[in-house]
Chain A
Amino acid sequence: MKKKIDFLFAGVGGQGTILTSDILAEVGLRCGYDVKKSEVHGMAQRGGAVESHVRWGEKVYSPLIEEGEADYLLGFEMLEAARWPHFLKPGSVALVNRYRIMPPVVNLGQAKYPEEKEIETILSGAGARVVWVEGAAKARELGNLALAGVVLLGALSSYLAEPAEVWQTVIEEMVPPKFKELNVKAFFAGREAKL
């Protein structure tokens, strides 16, 4: 009997939440889980807040996670991570990329971007353990900010039992061939980071 694991991805349109969550879904399928996944395309992708739900389990009905049920939150952007405490389960892990994209209201001076401490308080208030991931910094080191999501995925993989080879195979199959090596490097950078 496979344990149910719910993953919530949060980020800004264009950050690559869709591809990384696709990779996670495929890893689940290869490891024998029933898998469902959901997200919204279109209007929401033009720099707006986006979220993806990935669910692994013996038998999964809904493609959407229920409030208070997510085991892992993958925050691609700090403010976006802070938006979802109501989905987190006590004892869950929130992996947050230390990276800020200012929303227009903040740019216009009409609102304040929350401090790192506030974000931690919001997420830990839901009983989650907050883990900061230097996804953006590692991605920059590798020369492409778009790799931050795969760094996060690597960090997530270190919490799960599924073998690294499965992750690597799926990543190699699903990313554009040109960026295969870089993505694998990014994955292991995340997986091997001391969190």
Chain B
Amino acid sequence: MKKIMTGNEAFAYGAYLAGIKIGAGYPGTPSSEILYNFARYPGVYAEWSVNEKVALDVCVGAAYAGRRAVMTTKHVGLNVAADSLFYVAYTGLKAGLVIINADDPFMHSSQNEQDNRHYARFAKVPMLEPADSEEAKSFVKYAVEISEAFDTPVIIRSTTRLSHSRTAVNLEEEPVQQAPPEPLAYERNPVKYVMIPAYARQRHPVVEERLKKLAEFAEATPLNYIEAGDDSLGIISSGVVYQYAKEVFPTATFLKLGMVYPLPVKLIRELAERVKQVVVVEELDPFIEEHVRLLGIPVKGKDVFPMIGELSPGRVRKCAQEAGLIPQGELKKVVSAPALPGRPPMLCPGCGHRGVFYALQRLRTVTFGDIGCYTLGAAPPLNAMHTCGCMGAGLGVVHGVDKVGVKDRTVAVIGDSTFFHSGVAPLINILYNKGVSTVIVLDNRVTAMTGHQPHPGSGKTLMGEDAPLISVEEVARGIGFKRVDVVNPYDFRNVVDTIKEHLRSGEPSVIVARHPCVLYTRERYSPYAVNLELCNECGNCLRIGCVPISKVEGGVAIDAALCVGCGFCATICNPKAIYQLGS
């Protein structure tokens, strides 16, 4: 029996089948769906931790205690968790620990396209890379086995195209549900688990020895294999890119790698002996290629295929043709993509963030931003965000700018989930170091961008239970901020006045702009319409960047099907031409 699953659904299914009992992570596209799918299986515990580092530590704890664990993250989340990755690489664990990491070539939803295969080499831990959903399922089981056999965390690397593609998965027999296990006796082993220098020095040789054994394992594992073809080209590839290569080089000999670190040296040499030309087809960095080159094997790779962006069958074919790897004769005539008006993502109709960004646009502040839906405040016509680097960065950056002193008015904006993720520490830093910055927390009560996952300010857990609701304003007051206000972002006048007051005060301050995400609550009211006789074409409503509002002859129109009736446009319409239907 087969079922179509996304890569992420298959990872979750695989984790369940592999006897993993604990999952922790922080939402991040393209990894988010792994954990909430895992949480639905019987007999497991899963949580959205406040950030990736905490998530990995939680999983380390479970694995130290003796229960198999999975941590899920997007590529940049592993940066956050890197400190923990490096210690657990030294300590090892008692039960299997798998980190499922999703890279994002082309940056569909990310700030960079770092290639996290480097983390495997950097932290000296094995890495697997599945090529479709069936492998996503089965590789989790392999990862658990490797983790326990070699006493090491194992990283599984996915990419956006694997995580979010749907392919058929063979359903397997349900694992027998055992009665809840007895509490474990914690095995104390400080020499292995306390990484003071004296003990850490004893662990480093263990890590190096382990890597040698893993390299031997890589030669024999069914994860890596040669697919015989003709002897002209030998393609080395892994992950979803392997699928593209299979379409472009249907008759070539392949070395299909399911384990990308450590690499199987003997298999690579064997392939090189069988074919006239070795070609590595890989996305992003020349990770495999450099290794092959170090073996002294002539290889084509990044001289043919780009290092930047996502590959596709079309891109691989074009590059292969230009390099003469496949006949030019097959060159297809394809019309070029037309130049048409773009359609970037925007804040949703009814989004509360719009009120704050429109106010900031009007106040001409320099705004230091962060990662989330609200990053869309940077887009035209709002143009109301001026930096965005990574989770939690804006609060440190605004403090640095304020310490230097600039003529402009400055604020930092951060989302609620991001605030709990990495905003609290820099907020403390502002107060402790006698800063003057104003921080606006855009609180919509969920982690919205990644699909509405709950967080400490939501009052719910991933398991669907009620949880203590942690209040942003109480955290700020508890730290010691004296000027803390909560505003409704739809109340435009009050938002503007409050921001002005905070900026004038010359003291560090926090504004919580709170309105639940309308996409999540499905809050919807009677739509608004425009009285063209009153409209003076001032264009204010077009500057708030709300999709239903468009320019028409003699004024503007509101698409009633798209309008959710929040009424924000009506509050900023000077001639009062916008009215609610049925009011």
Partner of B332, one of A29, A36, A67: A67
Q: Convert A25-58 into 0s and 1s, putting 1 for each residue whose CB lies closer than 8 angstroms to a CB of B.
A: 1100100001111111111111111000000000
Q: Which of the residues B30, B340, B346 comes within 8 Å of A47, measured between beta carbons?
A: B346
Q: Which of B371-430 contact A (CB under 8 A)?
A: 373, 376, 379-381
With beta carbons under 8 angstroms apart, the residue of B166, B243, B345, B561 that contacts A25 is B166
Docked Cα-Cα span, A35 to B169, in Å, equals 11
What are the residues of chain A within 8 A of B346 when measuring CB–CB?
46-48, 104
Task: Scan residues 100-133 of chain A and give those whose CB is less than 8 A from a CB of chain B.
Answer: 101-109, 111-114, 122, 125-126
Option from B168, B314, B376, B542 in Cβ contact (under 8 Å) with A108:
B542
How many angstroms between the C-alpha atoms of A32 and B338 in the bound complex? 36
Tell me which of A82-90, A154-162, A176-184, A185-193 binds B: A82-90
Tally inter-chain residue pairs, CB-CB below 8 A.
169
Question: B343 near A: Cβ within 8 Å?
Answer: yes
* A16 contacts the other chain (CB 8 A): no
Chain A residues with Cβ below 8 Å from B2 are 29
The reply to whether A49 and B343 contact each other, CB–CB distance below 8 Å, is yes
Q: Tell yes or no: B161 within 8 A of A by CB.
A: yes
Q: Is the CB of A64 within 8 A of B161?
A: yes
- Asked if A80 CB lies within 8 Å of chain B CBs, one says yes
Give Cα A48–Cα B376 distance, bound, in whole angstroms. Answer: 11
CA distance A2 to B74 in the complex (A): 37
By a CB distance below 8 angstroms, the chain B residues around A122 are 338
B338/A36 in contact, CB under 8 A: no
CA distance A42 to B6 in the complex (A): 15
Q: A46-B348, A62-B313, A109-B551 are in contact. Are A82 and B167 (CB under 8 A)?
A: no
Q: Which of B165, B337, B380 contacts A86 (CB 8 A)?
A: B337
Contact partner, A63, options B161, B246, B341, Cβ 8 Å: B161
A153 CB-CB contact with B under 8 Å:
no
Contacts A34-B168, A40-B160 known; A66 to B312 CB distance under 8 Å? Answer: yes
Residue of B nearest to A54 (CB): B166
Q: A63-B167, A64-B313 are in contact. Are A46 and B373 (CB under 8 A)?
A: yes
Q: Tell me the smallest distance from the CB of A36 to a CB of chain B, in Å.
A: 5
Residues of A within 8 A of B337 (CB): 83-86
Task: Say whether, besides A101-B562, A104-B344, A108-B381, A43 and B333 are in contact (CB < 8 Å).
Answer: no
Is B335 within 8 A of A39, CB to CB?
no
Residues of B within 8 A of A125 (CB): 335
- Check if B30 sits within 8 Å of A46, measured CB to CB: no
A63 and B240 contacting across the interface, CB-CB below 8 Å: yes
Q: Given the complex of chains A and B, what is the CA–CA distance between A106 and B344 in angstroms? A: 12
Residues of A within 8 A of B257 (CB): none
B545 within 8 A of A: yes
The answer, yes or no, to whether B244 is at the interface (CB within 8 Å) is: yes
Choose among B108, B247, B335, B341 the residue that contacts A44 (Cβ–Cβ < 8 A).
B108
List residues of chain B with CB within 8 A of the CB of A60. 167
Q: Is the interface of B mostly helix, strand, loop or mixed?
A: loop
| A35 touching B4, Cβ below 8 Å | yes
Q: Which residue of B lies closest to A107 (CB)?
A: B550
> Whose C-beta in chain A lies nearest to the C-beta of B338?
A122
**Structural contact, A43 and B551, CB atoms closer than 8 A:** no
**What size tier do the contact residues of chain B reach?**
35 or more
Residues of B near A103 (CB, < 8 A) are 341-343
Contact indicator A86/B335 (Cβ below 8 Å): yes
Which residue of A62, A67, A111 is within 8 Å of B334 (Cβ)? A67
Interface residues in B284-336 (C-beta closer than 8 Å to A): 312-314, 317, 332-336
Least distance between A145 CB and chain B CB atoms (Å):
5
A83 touches B340 (CB 8 A): yes
A40-B160, A63-B161 known; A45-B345 Cβ under 8 A: yes
**Quick check: A44 and B314 within 8 Å, CB to CB?**
no
**Contacts A66-B247, A68-B334 known; A37 to B4 CB distance under 8 Å?**
yes
Residues of B within 8 A of A39 (CB): 164-165
* B168 partner residues in chain A, CB cutoff 8 A: 29, 34-35
Which residue of chain A has its CB nearest to the CB of B541? A107
**B29, A41: Cβ atoms under 8 Å?**
yes
Nearest Cβ on chain B to A122's Cβ, whole angstroms:
5
Bound Cα distance A63, B312 (Å)? 9
User: When chains A and B are docked, how far (Å) is the Cα of A35 from the Cα of B451?
Assistant: 26
Least Cβ–Cβ distance between B450 and chain A, in angstroms: 7
Asked if A22 CB lies within 8 Å of chain B CBs, one says yes
**Complexed CA–CA distance, A39 and B348 (Å):** 20
Quick check: A37 and B561 within 8 Å, CB to CB? no
B166-A41 in contact (CB<8A): no
A42 touches B347 (CB 8 A): no
Q: Does B206 contact A (CB under 8 A)?
A: no
> Is the C-beta of A152 less than 8 angstroms from some C-beta in chain B?
no
CB distance from A22 to the nearest CB of B (A): 7
A171 an interface residue at 8 Å Cβ cutoff?
no
Known: A40-B160, A47-B346, A67-B314. A105 touches B341 (CB 8 A): yes
Residues in B with CB closer than 8 Å to A34 are: 168
7 closest A-B pairs (Cβ-Cβ)?
A: A42-B29, A48-B345, A42-B109, A63-B165, A46-B345, A111-B341, A43-B109
Further pairs besides A36-B166, A83-B338, A108-B542: 5, Cβ < 8 Å: A61-B243, A62-B313, A63-B167, A67-B334, A107-B547
Between A and B, 8 residue pairs with Cβ closer than 8 Å are A41-B451, A42-B449, A43-B449, A66-B247, A67-B314, A67-B334, A103-B341, A106-B550
Contact residues of B with A, CB < 8 Å?
Answer: 2, 4, 29-30, 33, 108-109, 132, 160-161, 164-168, 240, 243-244, 246-247, 312-314, 317, 332-338, 340-348, 373, 376, 379-381, 449-451, 542, 545, 547, 549-551, 559, 561-562
